[in-house]
Amino acid sequence: MTSNANSERLLDRIRTRKARIGVIGLGYVGLPLAVEFARRGFDVSGFDVDETKTSQINAGRSYIPDVPEAELSEVVKAGRLRGTTQMAGLGQMDVIDICVPTPLRKTKDPDLSYVVKAVEAVVEALTPGQLIILESTTYPGTTDEVVQPMLESKGLKGDTDFFLAFSPERVDPGNQTYTTRNIPKIVGGMGKASTEAAALLYGAIVERVIKVSSTRVAEMVKLLENTFRAVNIGMVNELALMCHKMDIDVWEVIDAAKTKPFGFMPFYPGPGLGGHCIPIDPYYLSWKARQNGFECRFIELAGHVNSAMPDYVVERVADALNTVRKSINGSRVHLLGVAYKRDVNDMRESPALDVVELLQKRGAMVSYTDPYVPELRHGGHTLSSVDLGQAIVARPDCAVICTDHAVFNYDALVSSGVLIVDTRNALKDRTSATIFRL
């Protein structure tokens, strides 16, 4: 089959919804994507090494808050979505979408081991005419320097025998306004045919597709988006520390500044950065920059500021306890929320983990409440979530709001008279001598 015939066959199968789609990695990115493809009439197989996930999918049970169980169950019962751990099935797919984690090593260097393992599985099953898309956030050059050579290692040629593109995931867990369907999709292929196929595919499930000139541009787009956030959060975190020294309410400053209708975008301080992207992506960018002889001083400085915020939170706990002549050592400190952001169960890179560890190192007896995280294992310790009402009755020496989940009863917390360190401005409209803001 000629390259043109490979392309035309693939495009036709996508247009007619006959294309079989495989999604590797069934987490916060992969599962919503798989469900959306299935809802739009495609036959979808979800591949994951975790049999617990694939079993739950086949039972119609959602483990991702952003994926309504009714939608998942519907497409599973209709036979349009199934989960499997058998990677050999990749050979029957027309499209393979890779959505695996890209964490950092302890040295802050990129860890592409999950991507490499996924691509190795694809190589074993690769057949002419397939479209391979990488969605995992990574440094510019990954697709053409790592993925493409692996796929071409058995003699097939990219953009001719098979098609390859990068399309960065833009998932925002817990966001009910912007979802897979209405977040614009960036697509960059290794060639014209690859870009066209990937754009047509995503055009079937999202409202808008933006084509860019290469995989490297698409990779850089994602890093720009999240580095922009990380740098601005770093700036406002530093401003929060500065305002504390000057006895100025940083939250009031931000609220006033954001009334300007142009030239200002509000960012907010917090206990540190969390999630699968913002704490990670700037390091991917700075690592790649160093390979090219460029030092990202501005970006790395923001990283230092953000990573120091858990230490500052613990110092605020010490300040609060000091007002009642207590030390952290021996005090009972209760955390409200340990997930990395509001109303999600995602613990990846959560700053609350560092807060817990720092408090324990200083002798505090730590407990927590988080309805989304029933058990917390970190640093050799295992903690279980405590009902907030029971925690208040137990009268901790200090409560720390790390994650402002909507279900928390803040009125009961404030009226209890317990010392509170509020890192999220959750108690914005409440005034009390027992409240210590970031």
User: Is the same domain home to 268 and 324?
Assistant: no
User: Is the same domain home to 302 and 314?
Assistant: no
- Assess contact for 116 and 146: CB atoms under 8 A: yes
CATH number for the domain that contains residue 348: 3.40.50.720
User: Is the same domain home to 374 and 400?
Assistant: yes
Two tokens at 123? 């190589």
Choosing from 275, 292, 307, the residue where a domain stops is 307
pLDDT given at position 339: 94
Choosing from 213, 247, 262, the residue where a domain stops is 213
Two tokens at 408? 């928390």
Pair type for strands 398-401 and 332-336: parallel
User: Is the same domain home to 418 and 270?
Assistant: no
Measured CA to CA, the distance from residue 376 to residue 368 in angstroms comes to: 9
Output the CA–CA distances (angstroms, integers) from residue 62 to 58, 82, 171, 280, in the order listed: 10, 13, 17, 26
pLDDT given at position 206: 95
Q: What is the crossing angle of helices 250-257 and 215-246, to 10°? A: 130
pLDDT given at position 1: 47
Measured CA to CA, the distance from residue 90 to residue 125 in angstroms comes to: 6
3-class SS of residue 280: coil
Size (the chain), residues: 438
pTM: predicted TM-score of the whole model, two decimal places: 0.90
CB atoms within 10 A of CB 8: 14
Is residue 45 within a helix (H) or strand (E), and if so which, with residue range?
strand 43-47
User: Is the same domain home to 297 and 316?
Assistant: no
Q: Catalytic site residue 243?
A: no
Choosing from 307, 331, 348, the residue where a domain stops is 307
pLDDT given at position 2: 52
User: Is the same domain home to 9 and 138?
Assistant: yes
Two tokens at 271? 């206990």
Measured CA to CA, the distance from residue 167 to residue 195 in angstroms comes to: 10
- State whether the Cα torsion 250-251-257-258 is positive or negative: positive
- Assess contact for 250 and 269: CB atoms under 8 A: yes
Structurally, how many domains does the chain consist of?
3
Exactly one of 99, 243, 277, 398 is catalytic; which is it? 277
Two tokens at 360? 């324990």
User: Is the same domain home to 256 and 371?
Assistant: no
User: Is the same domain home to 188 and 320?
Assistant: no
Dihedral pair phi/psi, residue 307, rounded to 5°: -70, -15
User: Is the same domain home to 42 and 52?
Assistant: yes
How would you write the pLDDT of the chain (438 residues) with one tens digit per residue? 455 899 999 999 999 999 999 999 999 999 999 999 999 999 999 999 999 999 999 999 999 988 999 999 999 999 999 999 999 999 999 999 999 999 888 777 889 999 999 999 999 999 999 999 999 999 999 999 999 999 999 899 999 999 999 999 998 888 888 888 899 999 999 999 999 999 999 999 999 999 999 999 999 999 999 999 999 999 999 999 999 999 999 999 999 999 999 999 999 999 998 877 777 888 888 888 888 899 888 888 998 999 999 999 999 999 999 999 999 999 999 999 999 999 988 888 899 999 999 999 999 999 999 999 999 987 777 899 999 999 999 999 999 999 999 999 999 999 999 999 999 999 998 888 999 998
Output the CA–CA distances (angstroms, integers) from residue 256 to 240, 253, 265, 437, in the order listed: 15, 5, 12, 17
Domain that holds residue 193: 3-213
User: Is the same domain home to 378 and 414?
Assistant: yes
Measured CA to CA, the distance from residue 312 to residue 315 in angstroms comes to: 5
The CA-CA-CA angle for residues 325, 327, 329, to 5°, reads: 155
Task: Name the nearest CA neighbour of 121 among 99, 100, 90, 161.
Answer: 90
Measured CA to CA, the distance from residue 141 to residue 271 in angstroms comes to: 33
User: Is the same domain home to 252 and 347?
Assistant: no
Measured CA to CA, the distance from residue 368 to residue 212 in angstroms comes to: 45
User: Is the same domain home to 359 and 419?
Assistant: yes
